[in-house]
Structure 1
């Protein structure tokens, strides 16, 4: 399986994603369920994160007026 992540990809925890997007936890998870926000990556049983590039792309889409 080929990875989409770059070798130096930074992983963001929920608090960082909240800070970068302005959304709160419940809105993030609702948007994931709705298919309009990047899904998290599970690192362990109790730890998830988001690749920074996916969050940056989501933000850029919003700035450019492309919403899903």
Structure 2
């Protein structure tokens, strides 16, 4: 249980999100603008990150949606 909580609260930087999702920077931000991707959180003046658990949930939803359509 503790590992699940820690994993859900890890912060992923943009390059990690790109690698995990297979999406480009511009596609991530385009999906964020339409509300189709988890919002980033501000880490500093010039840095953002995403909550790992939210990215994982988004990936699971993408997989489920693609299998429903098939």
Interval containing the TM-score (normalised by the shorter chain): 0.7 to 0.9
TM-score by length of 1: 0.83
RMSD across aligned positions (CA)? 1.2
Q: Which residue of 2 aligns with 1:56?
A: 56
| C-alpha separation in 1, matches of 2:30 and 2:40 | 12
**Considering only CA atoms, is the larger Rg found in Structure 1 or Structure 2?**
2
Structure 1 portions without partners, runs of 5+: 1-5
Structure 2 portions without partners, runs of 5+: none
| C-alpha separation in 2, matches of 1:53 and 1:61 | 12
Q: Which digits, 9 at most, give the CA deviation of each residue in 1:27-67, with x for residues without a partner?
A: 0000000110001000111010000000000000001117x
Structure having the larger proportion of residues in helix: 2
Corresponding residue pairs, total: 60
Q: Which residue of 2 aligns with 1:21?
A: 21
